[in-house]
Amino acid sequence: MKKKLWKGLERSAFFGICFAALIAAFAAVPVQAQQATVSIDTPEIVEGSTVYATVNIDSVENLDAGQFDLVFNPDVLKIVGVENGSIGEAEVPVQWRSVDNGKVRVIFNLEGVTGVSGSGQLASVGLEVIGGGKGDLRISNGLLGDTEAHSINTDWGVTEASGIGADLRDAEAEDTQKAASGFEAVLTLIGLTTAMYLARSGQR
């Protein structure tokens, strides 16, 4: 009777350890957050006209602040203004300045500490078309942050979105790989423990 009771307790303890190890393994693997997407919608460029391009954002979560550069051909375009955007009912208050000939930097910080989620526009860009040819308006060096000061996983739609943003994305990929390795190690440990338990049970 005591032997059966002991074997039952041993079996319960074994499965309890395996269950706890599985929970720890899943907790160690970070949940992949939904990726936000930023893109530029540029209207037809006609020399001598003033047009507006929009910097659009889709599927962002808990956005609090960010920055990006607008790079363009200064022989064709002149940025005359960058206006606030909006996501849902939340206004995105932007500030901008010229970095050099052909580049403007835009930064924003939403009011409050709650962040905003959804899709909308980060900014509206006023463009004066001063010459003929391609304006080549694009985004570079983009970075978005949430209310906890973490980088938001973002597809900027261009390889130019490097610098700080690229370094952060590389770091996040490395952390994910390390967590996955830890998860595999725990599963291996569970498998070995199971095999040892079954072998011992078969000997009895």
> Can you give the residue ranges of every domain in the chain?
1-30, 36-176
* E strands in 26-169: 36-41, 50-71, 77-87, 90-92, 94-100, 103-109, 116-129, 138-146, 154-155
Is the model's pLDDT at 105 over the cut of 50? yes
Is the model's pLDDT at 22 over the cut of 60? no
Give me the chain's average pLDDT, please. 74
When pLDDT is averaged across residues 70-97 and rounded to a whole number, the result is 96
Q: How far apart are CA 158 and CA 69, in angstroms?
A: 12
> Which of the listed CATH numbers 1.10.1510.10, 2.60.40.680, 3.90.870.40, 2.40.50.140 matches domain 36-176?
2.60.40.680
pTM of the model: 0.62
Residues 148-169: tens digit of each pLDDT: 989 999 999 753 333 333 343 3
pLDDT at 83: 97
More confident residue, 11 or 20: 11
